[in-house]
């Protein structure tokens, strides 16, 4: 196979994976937009003032109802920290924002199976508990104060404008009434489009990387790298190496799910897949943003503690699912759709593309386009654009 054929093969796999998961992505972002439309950001910071279990649980829940964009989650976490939120609670919010969101669960179920979705939603809280313990034991006041001083400088990162925007529905009425109102439908369209705009690069990048890995990296390499011939050692090795693969892949947010499917088919352990997916918050671009936000010492602390908790959560999942017999035994993640056909995927894609188009049209007609230009502008987390009526 010459270079051109090899490139075409990789791109065809990427396109096939993209087509396979398209309807699930649209559904996930729609459900997430509905949730975000009724969660007011102005109430978030005041509920996260300490690192008590109740505050961490609230931070986790609010994070799960937030955007899946890693960069927006990191930016909003800093903004919450600057406005008085406890640092541990802000980090819990950040983890939940990228690892416990609806669209990730939908995509994991489609590409890898429901066990991976369940593992993600169990492992996320486990990781947050471990992180809270590590922060309480090892985080020194001088490091925290230095991080606060650096955060208050307001050095620009990425996607800060998107993190600051509050398009939630205000006013009276039940949740369902607010969602179905004209303002609610506009809010949903805004969150839907803005969230897509914030992560489409990660999604495309993840598909391209996964396509290249599936097409160009032989199974024998993955099997050797993940120690497939030594099952017990492989279960120990997977959670350790999974986050490190993610760090160098540069793919964050839900864009790493296609590559996770390739790694699973290649032989990485079940816990290793979960640790890999968790690691979207320590990829190199995000680490560079941490350095801008909090300084070098806090960045190293975040990396070390996040990595340790990702490994630990992977082991917990490996053991828990192994004991209960829920660990998948088949390595048949949906990586390649052999050819186009009129099947349920095609019909679902057409239906959800029509729905997405309707949301985009409403977004444009309601004056949302200028918001796209504000996504990367540093904005005050409580003073971003919002709306009262449309």
- Establish if 173 belongs to a structural domain: yes
pLDDT at 147: 96
Per-residue pLDDT of 182-196, as tens digits, reads 999 999 999 899 888
> pLDDT-based confidence at 376, cuts 50/70/90?
low
Handedness of CA 116, 75, 82, 37 (dihedral sign): negative
More confident residue, 41 or 19: 19
* Distance from C-alpha of 165 to C-alpha of 146, rounded to nearest angstrom: 27
Q: Is 367 contained in some domain?
A: no
Distance (Å, whole) CA 18 – CA 337: 10
Judged by phi (left if over 0) then psi (alpha if -120 to 50, else beta), residue 43 lies in alpha
Residue 350 maps to a domain: no
Question: What are the helix (H) ranges across the chain?
Answer: 3-37, 53-64, 70-82, 87-99, 102-111, 114-138, 141-151, 160-164, 175-180, 182-216, 219-225, 231-249, 257-266, 270-278, 284-294, 296-324, 344-365, 369-373
pTM of the shown model: 0.83
Nearest Cα neighbor of 293 from 149, 187, 185 is 149
Q: Is residue 388 part of a domain?
A: no
Per the structure block, which two tokens stand in for 207? 């598909």
Write out pLDDT tens, residues 142-158.
999 999 999 988 787 66
At residue 374, φ and ψ (nearest 5 deg) are -95, 0
- Domain range spanning residue 226? 21-336
The DSSP annotation for 55-68 comes to HHHHHHHHHHTS--
Q: Is residue 379 part of a domain?
A: no
Q: Write the DSSP assignment of 33-87 as a string of letters.
A: HHHHHT--GGGTGGG-SS-SHHHHHHHHHHHHTS---HHHHHHHHHHHHHTT--H
For the chain, how many structural domains are there in total?
1
Position 380 in a domain = no
Asked if the model's pLDDT at residue 236 lies above 70, the reply is: yes
Residue 353 within any structural domain of the chain: no
User: Within a domain: residue 371?
Assistant: no
pLDDT tens figures, 284-323: 889 999 999 999 999 999 999 999 999 999 999 999 999 9
């Amino acid at each position: 196979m010459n270079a051109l054929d090899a490139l075409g093969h990789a791109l065809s796999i990427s396109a096939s994976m993209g087509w396979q998961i398209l309807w699930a992505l649209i559904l996930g972002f729609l459900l997430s937009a509905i949730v975000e439309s009724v969660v007011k950001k102005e109430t978030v910071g005041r509920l996260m003032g300490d690192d008590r279990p109740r505050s961490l649980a609230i931070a986790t829940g609010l994070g799960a109802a937030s955007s899946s964009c890693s960069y927006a989650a990191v930016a909003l976490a800093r903004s919450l920290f600057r406005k008085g939120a406890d640092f541990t609670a802000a980090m819990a919010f950040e983890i939940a924002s990228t690892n416990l969101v609806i669209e990730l669960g939908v995509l994991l179920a489609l590409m890898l199976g429901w066990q991976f979705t369940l593992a993600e939603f169990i492992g996320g809280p486990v990781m947050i508990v471990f992180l809270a313990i590590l922060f309480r034991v090892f985080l020194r006041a001088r490091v925290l104060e230095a991080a606060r001083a650096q955060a208050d400088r307001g050095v620009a990162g990425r996607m800060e404008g998107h993190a600051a925007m509050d398009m939630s529905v205000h006013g009276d009425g039940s949740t369902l009434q607010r969602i179905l109102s004209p303002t609610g439908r506009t809010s949903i369209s805004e969150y839907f489009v803005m969230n897509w705009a914030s992560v489409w690069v990660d999604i495309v990048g993840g598909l391209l990387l996964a396509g290249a890995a599936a097409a160009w990296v032989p199974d024998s390499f993955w099997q050797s790298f993940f120690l497939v011939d030594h099952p017990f050692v492989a279960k120990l090795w997977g959670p350790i190496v999974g986050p490190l693969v993610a760090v160098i892949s540069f793919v964050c947010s839900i864009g790493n799910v296609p590559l996770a499917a390739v790694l699973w088919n290649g032989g990485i352990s079940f816990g290793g897949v979960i640790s890999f997916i968790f690691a979207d918050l320590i990829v190199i671009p995000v680490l560079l943003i941490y350095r801008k936000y909090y300084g070098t010492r806090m960045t190293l602390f975040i990396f070390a503690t996040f990595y340790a908790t990702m490994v630990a959560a992977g082991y917990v999942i490996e053991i828990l699912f192994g004991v209960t017999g829920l660990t998948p035994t088949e390595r048949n993640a949906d990586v390649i759709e052999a050819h186009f056909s009129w099947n349920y995927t095609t019909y679902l894609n057409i239906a959800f593309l029509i729905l997405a188009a309707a949301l985009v049209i409403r977004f444009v007609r309601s004056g949302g386009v200028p918001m796209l230009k504000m996504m990367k502008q540093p904005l005050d987390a409580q003073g971003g654009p919002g709306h009262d009526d449309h």
